[in-house]
Structure 1
Amino acid sequence: MAFNSWFRDLSFFRKTAVILGTGALVAGATYSVFEIQRRRNLACGGINMESLKNIEDIEEGEKRILVLGLDGAGKSTLLGCLNSLQAPDDTKPTEGFNVMCIQTESVTLNIWEVGGTENVRSYWSNFIQGTQVLMFVVDASDKERLGEAKTELQKLITDKRLKNVPLILVANKQDKEGAMSVDNLQRVLELNLGDRAIYPLETQVPIGGEVQGVNKVKELLEMLPKS
């Protein structure tokens, strides 16, 4: 009530100044929150923030890997155990994108994982430029969504920016009942890769269970692309 009375007694010009000042304060606070969140999303080990503004930039001794797949395929859980080779206790679905860095003896792996929900897939193409290795993860036990996975993968491999980029096809969740083998998965997806190299793998990363195939994923990410 006191504020209303004080504001009502102000002249037109002073009222305008208060409104504009308040708007600037709100805008500044909103920008600050957005900037903090942006920096959190881009934070990745020793990578300089400025270098992430252009995802096409690849420094010497670094390798850029793009990890895609439908939501629920297990991308985050799989990547979460690359270092320890143990499944993480809990993994939240990726709503936007994550950047993960793994330093090996020979190279720094800059791994870009993008969420797989339908609304996020429309942004996949924004992350393609500069990709040196493409990894596509499929829930091999979810046969009802294989057609959906096939559609999305076909879009990717026909993109000219990914021409000749090696593909790691991961048939994940092999611990689930009825999981399809990676050979059968390749046939269902009808991959026509031309000269592109494909590396099919079977993985499982159950929480509290036995992890399989993850060490091979890490070896491939470090090795590819072959010179």
Structure 2
Amino acid sequence: MFGLLNNAYKSVRKKQEKRMTIVLLGLDSAGKTTLLHTLKVASQRAAHGKRRHDPRMRMATVTSTAEEAAFVARPTLGFEESSLQISGYACAVYDLGGSRLGRVNWPSYLDEVHAIVFVVDAADSARLDEAKEVLHATLRNAHVAGKPVLVLANKLDLPGALPAAELAARLELPDVRASPHQVHAVTAAKLDDARTFKAFKWLGSVVASDYPALHARVDKDVAEKKRLEELERTERKKRIEERKAQRDKERADKDAADAAAAAAAGGGSAPPAPAAAPQPPPPHAQVEMQPVPHPAKQAPPPEHVVATDVGAKGRPSQPGEGATVPSTPSAIAIDASAAPRSTQHSPLAAIAASPIEAGGNPMKRLPAIDLPPSLPS
């Protein structure tokens, strides 16, 4: 229960807390980052009542000399944001890079700020004309007109630095009625420079005196900015879709023209449209499996055996001596009539008269033979 009440109290307090947004502008090396560091350290000291730096900043101690300040402050690339307490306001401070490339992004932040701080290096007379040109371009922005502007002549401790009055004359600031502004000479690198805190006290008082109107204007400008950004995104998306549709149409027209030209060159009609691809079966559907036919088995061709006649002396006949007969699957027939007359009653006739099975051994089928006592001469 206590936790819920505590959260509700914090929520109400946060809603009642006044918010202010300040932007730090100026040329590069003017001292914007050093100024922001000084304000952060002073704000922490005031909040904690201690005369020491935050532990996270011990390596970046603010000093009173320009050389050490240059070592502490490094050029800002793009954008940095810090939170401070100024005149009882929860203040968000935007530190924007001051190079030529960084200044291009300045207008993107001017609609959401309540006040502008423009830092000028009072000791760099060679760049005063450039600083004047950039300052006037900033004041002409529609989101700056009517908002308080604090011009800080920084590095007053350096030799040749212009005082505040002379710097204001060199900058040729417009009528104060266009935008309430003041020029204060400060040394941002010094923590004990009362002129810095006096300048921001003036800025906080001007914002507080017209806070309802300034805050309503900021809310209105931010809402308008979001509306324009959304409109730009919608139009950009529409342009992309239109270009894509145009490319698709041109591609389809080209394909149709190529098909018509190919049909005219071939003397036939235009090729038909390709058939639709077969749709895959639905999930868990039973697919009928068709047997794959196997090639018919073919019987091997019958072997052919060439039978040769056996001579009278038991040796195979030489080529041309006997007759060659194609074999059959069952047996091999030998015509005995082809033998010479002198061998009609010889044992070879008995061999020729008996069939020999395919693959058999003819020597195993020889019948018993009675040899005559003497062979004819």
Which range, TM-score by smaller chain? Answer: 0.5 to 0.7
Counterpart of 1:45 in structure 2 is none
Task: List aligned pairs for 1:81-92, cutoff 5 A.
Answer: 81-85=38-42, 88=62, 90-92=72-74
The one-letter amino acid of 1:197's match is: P
Counterpart of 1:69 in structure 2 is 26
Counterpart of 1:163 in structure 2 is 145
The one-letter amino acid of 1:219's match is: K
Counterpart of 1:201 in structure 2 is 184
- For residues 222 and 164 of structure 1, what CA distance do their matches in structure 2 show? 15
The one of 41, 52, 75 equivalent to 1:93 is 75
Counterpart of 1:52 in structure 2 is none
User: Which structure has more strand as a fraction of its residues?
Assistant: 1
Counterpart of 2:195 in structure 1 is 213
Question: How many residues were matched structurally?
Answer: 169
- For residues 135 and 105 of structure 1, what CA distance do their matches in structure 2 show? 16
- For residues 166 and 100 of structure 2, what CA distance do their matches in structure 1 show? 25
- For residues 104 and 211 of structure 1, what CA distance do their matches in structure 2 show? 16
SS of the residue corresponding to residue 224 of structure 1 reads: helix
SS of the residue corresponding to residue 154 of structure 1 reads: helix
- Judge conservation of contact 1:204–1:212 (CA < 8 Å) in 2: no
The one-letter amino acid of 2:180's match is: A
- For residues 134 and 146 of structure 2, what CA distance do their matches in structure 1 show? 18
The structure number with the bigger radius of gyration is 2
- For residues 193 and 131 of structure 1, what CA distance do their matches in structure 2 show? 21
1:147 aligns with 2:129: yes
The one of 170, 186, 192 equivalent to 2:174 is 192
How many percent of aligned residue pairs carry the same amino acid? 28
Task: List aligned pairs for 1:11-22, cutoff 5 A.
Answer: none
- Judge conservation of contact 1:68–1:116 (CA < 8 Å) in 2: yes
Task: List aligned pairs for 1:172-191, cutoff 5 A.
Answer: 172-191=154-173
- Judge conservation of contact 1:171–1:202 (CA < 8 Å) in 2: yes
Deviations 1:141-175 (A, max 9, x none): 00000010011001011111111111101000000
Please, what TM-score do these two structures have when normalized by structure 1?
A: 0.68
1:121 aligns with 2:78: no
The one-letter amino acid of 2:123's match is: S
Deviation, structure 1 residue 210: 6.0
Q: Which runs of 5+ in 1 are unaligned?
A: 1-58
- Judge conservation of contact 1:133–1:224 (CA < 8 Å) in 2: no
- For residues 217 and 84 of structure 1, what CA distance do their matches in structure 2 show? 17
Counterpart of 2:92 in structure 1 is 110
Counterpart of 1:38 in structure 2 is none
SS of the residue corresponding to residue 119 of structure 1 reads: helix
Deviation, structure 1 residue 214: 2.0
Pairwise CA RMSD of aligned residues?
Answer: 2.4
- For residues 121 and 104 of structure 2, what CA distance do their matches in structure 1 show? 20
- For residues 91 and 219 of structure 1, what CA distance do their matches in structure 2 show? 24
- Judge conservation of contact 2:146–2:180 (CA < 8 Å) in 1: yes
- Say if 1:110 and 1:142 are closer, same or farther in 2 by CA, change over 3 A: same
User: Greater relative contact order (Cα 8 A, min sep 6): structure 1 or 2?
Assistant: 1
Deviation, structure 1 residue 96: 0.8
- For residues 204 and 121 of structure 1, what CA distance do their matches in structure 2 show? 24
- Judge conservation of contact 1:171–1:181 (CA < 8 Å) in 2: yes
- Judge conservation of contact 2:33–2:76 (CA < 8 Å) in 1: yes
- Judge conservation of contact 1:66–1:112 (CA < 8 Å) in 2: yes
Q: Which runs of 5+ in 2 are unaligned?
A: 1-15, 43-52, 54-60, 64-71, 211-377
- Judge conservation of contact 1:204–1:210 (CA < 8 Å) in 2: no
